[in-house]
Structure 1
Amino acid sequence: MQASLINKHINPVNLSPFQRILLTSDGTLTEILEAYLLEKIQLVKLSETLLRVTKYVPALDLDIDTEVIERKILLQGKISLNNFIYAESIIVPERLDAEFKSRLIKSQEPMGRLWLEHRLETFKEIIDSAIEIAEDLSEFFNIGREDKMLSRTYRVFSNKKPIIMITEKFPESYFPKNF
């Protein structure tokens, strides 16, 4: 666990235990956040676009011109309306079951809940973690544009094929050691 963060230039000593859990867990963040915050979490879709990739995407083994869904969402507290996580996904629709794909596009459910609902067998592999500047994402979290965000990127496999790549981000100031 700690080696994966150190290799990505994030010193785990500087993180709170909960920040380390968010960056290294292969569980779904919705349930983890609900347990920690004692609040139901809802999904807010910011965008969902069908497009074709313009370059080879090695993490998903996608050739140029493959159709993907690019999805941007927030995980938000249902009562507080606080945004806790921003996530971007690249989804390969041709590798998904038709019913799952339909629910993913039409529903306001977080992806992890849909995996459970459809009993989708998945394997998740964290491929990156980073510290970056918030810039435009600052508006979702009421922080400065120059404030830092922590992130992780992982691939989701089903039937031994990568089906989704997800990057989840949250402000470095969230979930501090004394929270």
Structure 2
Amino acid sequence: MTHHGRTGLQRRQDFARADIVKRLLLATDGTVTPMLEQIVGERLVTNRLIQAKTTADEEAARQLAIPTGSAILVRSTDLAGQDSGRVFARTKALIALDVLPARVRNGLLGTAEPIGRLLRENRVETFRESLPDQVCEDDSSDAARRHYAIYINNSPGFLIEEHFLEACFVHGI
């Protein structure tokens, strides 16, 4: 009997598909939300949002290239399927509020919309820089994570870490 009725060839194809999805998510230099929605087959929404407005300590100020004491937002979210409720990604962000256009800042403080969606809906021109020493596969599972900065007007406005859970790679298999 095969595992869950799947042949060895089907399981190898499943693993190959998971590897391709992982590589695409880690390699993209844009927002992953639309791509991830296509992969998992449903709209993604913020399932859990924890955020706190605070001021930048020396480390945060250095990372975001802003003065110590500047306003920042620390934001942590789970991206989940709107219909299934299944969590596909966990994100943590450090955000320099003064770098953002007012409409994006207000959106972050007043809604649970994913960051990439807010930037796209407000037509904010950005540049994303992967921090390659922070992009890696998670050896403990089939998950993966990446770390990158989003620049607005040549200033880092966001430092983001995304952790893609195993559900991203086995969904629909």
Shared fold (TM-score, shorter chain, > 0.5): yes
Q: Does 1:156 align with 2:150?
A: yes
Q: Does 1:38 align with 2:44?
A: no
Retained in 1: the 8 A contact 2:72–2:96?
yes
Judging by fraction of residues, say which structure has more helix.
Answer: 2
Which consecutive aligned stretches of 4+ in structure 1 deviate over 4 angstroms post-superposition?
146-149
Q: State percent identity of aligned pairs.
A: 27
Aligned to 1:140: none
| Counterpart code for 2:136 | A
| Counterpart code for 2:76 | K
| Counterpart code for 1:62 | I
Q: Does 1:129 align with 2:135?
A: yes
1:172 Cα shift? 5.0
Point out the structure with max Rg over C-alpha: 2
Count residues in correspondence. 153
Partner SS state of residue 169, structure 2: coil
Structure 2 residue aligned with 1:87, among 84, 87, 91?
91
Q: Which runs of 5+ in 2 are unaligned?
A: 1-15
| Residues 174 and 32 of structure 1, relative CA distance in 2, 3 Å threshold | closer
1:108 Cα shift? 2.0
1:18 Cα shift? 0.4
Q: Which runs of 5+ in 1 are unaligned?
A: 1-12, 134-145
Residue deviations 1:130-153 (CA, integer Å, cap 9, x gap): 3458xxxxxxxxxxxx65742100
Q: TM-score, normalised by structure 1?
A: 0.76
Task: Measure, in 1, the Cα distance between the counterparts of 2:79 and 2:73.
Answer: 19
Q: Does 1:56 align with 2:59?
A: yes
Once the two structures are overlaid, the 10-residue window that deviates more, 41-50 or 121-130, is 41-50
Task: Measure, in 2, the Cα distance between the counterparts of 1:46 and 1:39.
Answer: 20
Q: TM-score, normalised by structure 2?
A: 0.78
